[in-house]
């Protein structure tokens, strides 16, 4: 059994701050004595030591077992995939980005991957050289290009400022991450139809062999419970509303006529002791609804005489069990 469990988190880059914030939202705040230290702790998980690393190194460290658990980008994981890594949760809901093909805006004749296939052949036949593509995702880029029948290209491995490569001249086009496309546009590049290599976000990973250990699995269970609860909580809000009715049963019957306001199991209806004289038979209804159905739910409550509707965020929502942990056990 491992005495010291390491949970590797991004030290810098686009995932660093969102990861801290995400864990804090989950109730797993990382305590770091000062920002220059590369270690930290999580009060909820006393056996776990947090180690800050670059996202690529997190993949390597989890693969070789130096770290038992880690959070990194799905894009980085797929680029440096290892059979020794198990993806515990592949969509933590932040750090969204796309790995995509980007060509110079001046290539007005290139709108799709079919066009690019032809351009690659043109380069070889007319210019006597391969199309040069700058990227740090050489593995994913190569697979994607071959899949689209593009076989003649040279990958130029680069780190940082890849968007500038076609302007500087050391590559003709790029394969890189983008969130909004702004940086690409600022560098006179454009995306093309069918040119998304993959969509990615932050993910939780573990070492396959470490996950056989009871202590590591216990830590994963705690992480999975809090993460699932936080992600469940983000999907919904809690509503309380005051509704007049003869009885709690009568109010509940009215509320549940609409499937959107049936809550997780059903509404909680409690009698209210109104301070206004003669204004009795009020009840307070409490229920949980999904974000997307919020307004429709409020309108239904109004329609049956509801008022004073208060909407509160749900920080954590624990269901019967953690789906993530159950699935992990099945896979292991």
Residues contributing to the site for another protein (CB under 8 A)? 103-109, 111, 114-115, 118-119, 121-123, 126-127, 131-132, 138-139, 142, 146, 149, 151-152, 157, 166-167, 169, 171-173, 187-189
Which of 141, 138, 120 shows the shortest CA–CA distance to 196? Answer: 141
- Our CB check for another protein shows the closer of 28 and 134 to be 134
Cα–Cα dist 14/20, whole Å: 11
Query: Residues, the chain, total?
Result: 332
How far from the centroid of its chain's Cα atoms is residue 35's Cα?
24
Do residues 79 and 139 make contact, with C-beta atoms less than 8 angstroms apart? yes
CA-to-CA dists, residue 6 to 31, 41, 45, 78, 136, angstroms: 14, 10, 11, 22, 27
Do residues 290 and 235 make contact, with C-beta atoms less than 8 angstroms apart? yes
- Our CB check for another protein shows the closer of 138 and 196 to be 138
Q: How many CA atoms are closer than 13 Å to the CA of 228, on its beta-carbon side?
A: 19
225 phi, psi to nearest 5 deg? -60, -50
Cα–Cα dist 332/330, whole Å: 6
CB of 19 to another protein, least distance (A): 29
Q: How many CA atoms are closer than 13 Å to the CA of 302, on its beta-carbon side?
A: 8
CB of 199 to another protein, least distance (A): 23
As given in the structure block, the two tokens for residue 26 are: 């989950």
- Our CB check for another protein shows the closer of 133 and 243 to be 133
DSSP 177: E
CB of 87 to another protein, least distance (A): 21
CB of 113 to another protein, least distance (A): 10
- Our CB check for another protein shows the closer of 115 and 242 to be 115
- Our CB check for another protein shows the closer of 48 and 131 to be 131
CB of 100 to another protein, least distance (A): 16
- Our CB check for another protein shows the closer of 20 and 118 to be 118
Helix or strand (DSSP H, E) at 224: helix 214-234
- Our CB check for another protein shows the closer of 136 and 217 to be 136
Do residues 121 and 143 make contact, with C-beta atoms less than 8 angstroms apart? no
Cα–Cα dist 250/308, whole Å: 19
- Our CB check for another protein shows the closer of 93 and 104 to be 104
CA-to-CA dists, residue 182 to 18, 40, 177, 196, angstroms: 20, 34, 11, 16
- Our CB check for another protein shows the closer of 142 and 262 to be 142
């Amino acid at each position: 059994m491992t005495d010291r469990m390491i949970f590797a988190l991004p030290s810098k880059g686009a995932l660093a701050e969102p990861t801290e914030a995400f864990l804090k939202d989950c109730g797993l705040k990382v305590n770091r004595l000062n920002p220059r230290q590369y270690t930290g702790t999580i009060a909820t998980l006393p056996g776990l030591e947090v180690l800050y690393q670059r996202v690529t190194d997190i993949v390597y460290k989890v693969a070789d077992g130096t770290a038992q658990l880690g959070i990194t980008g799905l894009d980085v994981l797929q680029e440096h995939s290892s059979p020794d890594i198990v993806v515990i949760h592949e969509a933590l809901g932040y750090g969204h980005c796309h790995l995509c093909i980007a060509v110079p805006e001046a290539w007005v004749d290139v709108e799709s991957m079919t066009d690019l296939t032809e351009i690659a052949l043109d380069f070889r036949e007319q210019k006597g050289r391969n199309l040069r593509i700058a990227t740090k995702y050489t593995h994913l880029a190569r697979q994607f290009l071959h899949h689209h029948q593009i076989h003649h290209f040279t990958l130029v491995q680069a780190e940082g400022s890849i968007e500038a490569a076609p302007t500087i001249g050391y590559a003709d086009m790029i394969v890189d991450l983008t969130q909004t496309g702004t940086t690409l546009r600022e560098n006179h590049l454009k995306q093309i139809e069918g040119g998304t290599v993959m969509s990615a976000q932050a993910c939780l990973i573990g070492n396959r062999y470490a996950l056989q250990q009871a202590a590591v699995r216990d830590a994963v269970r705690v992480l999975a419970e809090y993460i699932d609860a936080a992600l469940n909580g983000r999907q919904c809000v809690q509503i309380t509303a005051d509704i007049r009715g003869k009885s709690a049963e009568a109010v509940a019957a009215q509320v549940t006529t609409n499937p959107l306001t049936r809550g997780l199991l059903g509404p909680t209806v409690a009698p209210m002791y109104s301070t206004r004289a003669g204004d009795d038979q009020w009840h307070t209804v409490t229920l949980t609804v999904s974000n997307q159905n919020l307004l429709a739910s409020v309108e239904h409550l109004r329609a049956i005489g509801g008022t004073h509707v208060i909407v509160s965020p749900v920080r954590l929502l624990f269901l019967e069990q953690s789906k993530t942990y159950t699935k992990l056990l099945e896979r292991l």
